[in-house]
Amino acid sequence: MQSVIIVTGAAGFIGSNLVHALNQRGVTDIVAVDNLSRADKFRNLVDCEIADYLDKGELLGRLDSLGKIDAIFHQGACSDTMETDGRYMMQNNFRYSLALLEHAARDQIPFIYASSAAVYGGSQQFVERREVEKPLNVYGYSKFLFDQVVRRRLPSMGSQVVGLRYFNVYGPRESHKGRMASVAFHNVGQFRADGKVRLFDGWDGWNAGEQSRDFIHVDDVVAVNLHFLDNPASSGIFNLGTGRAQPFNDVAASVVNTLRRLAGESELSLSDLVARGLIEYQPFPDALKGKYQSFTQADIGQLRAAGYQADFLTVQQGVSRYVEWLCAQA
């Protein structure tokens, strides 16, 4: 039997972009694994080539029958930060990941998995150290706990294990995520529906729309995943952001100006966009006060030390590319 690469969460946002990128390398012997109980995600794989599809519930029982496995990209997880069923979250994100890790360790299979910046929660530092990891929800805790297992086992692992802590990822193939889709995606929808983008007003020392996150385009996320595939001697847990925090104003302005440019209209400064009512600020919700990350910025020192030296797209570059892609799909 020919060797295969397994991608879990293959019909999801990052997983489907990863499958597409592997195809661009000429790799089609891919076992795509997902849960299609919400079937709309299948659209993300329509333009991709795969060798087989398995339901998430089948994979663990079928691993020994798949032949030689060249690598496992474990992208599948429940990523809803509002999920309150802790038993489901821990079974889905922690226990399932642990079973895959143990199989990969037994058979010496490179294992590259999705962690999350949610492990930092209320921290003001975003560096891969146990003492600054303070998850605020059960999603973040499920990722945090698996990272701790990986840390303990890494010294004795005979094959590659890489955890990538994704920051705020945006880009193509995320429309199925609904409320959990990126700010850029929702900004496009708002502008198309209402002719304006709505952002939070100032709070907690931040001016209107100036709350800032480390926004990273999915193409950059995929490129880092493939970097580790190409460098199987590298293992560890790494932040995956751009290392730059940019305000929500930058995202909104990039969305509106790209849509204006595509419509043959001139781009405008942020102050002009606000003055014309194309960006509008709403009162900061009371329900979010004290529970909201106003600032995130990945420390990418360890990622650079692991050999990944490519530049990351800025919000202006990446959001413009994404909006153009969305318009082409429409």
Active site residues: 139, 177
Least Cα distance to 298 among 224, 218, 215, 184 occurs for: 215
Query: Distance between CA 257 and CA 68 in Å, rounded?
Result: 49
Spatial separation of the C-alpha atoms in residues 21 and 89, rounded to whole Å: 29
Q: Provide DSSP, 233-290.
A: T--EEEEES-S--EEHHHHHHHHHHHHHHHTT-----HHHHHHTTSEEEEPPPGGGTT
Using only C-alpha atoms, the chain has a radius of gyration, in whole angstroms, of 20
Contact 166, 14 (CB under 8 A): yes
d(CA 268, CA 253): 8
Q: What is the distance between the alpha carbons of residues 9 and 81, in angstroms, rounded to a whole number? A: 17
- Sign, CA dihedral 15-8-302-168, equals positive
Q: Is the CA virtual torsion 232, 237, 240, 241 positive or negative?
A: negative
Closest to 251 (Cα-Cα) out of 194, 174, 321, 187: 187
Q: Which element (helix H / strand E) includes 74?
A: strand 69-74
Alpha helices in 63-169 (DSSP H): 86-89, 96-107, 138-153
Q: How far apart are CA 42 and CA 58, in angstroms?
A: 18
Whole-number Å distance between alpha carbons of 216 and 90: 26
Q: Cα(251)–Cα(314) distance, rounded to whole angstroms?
A: 10
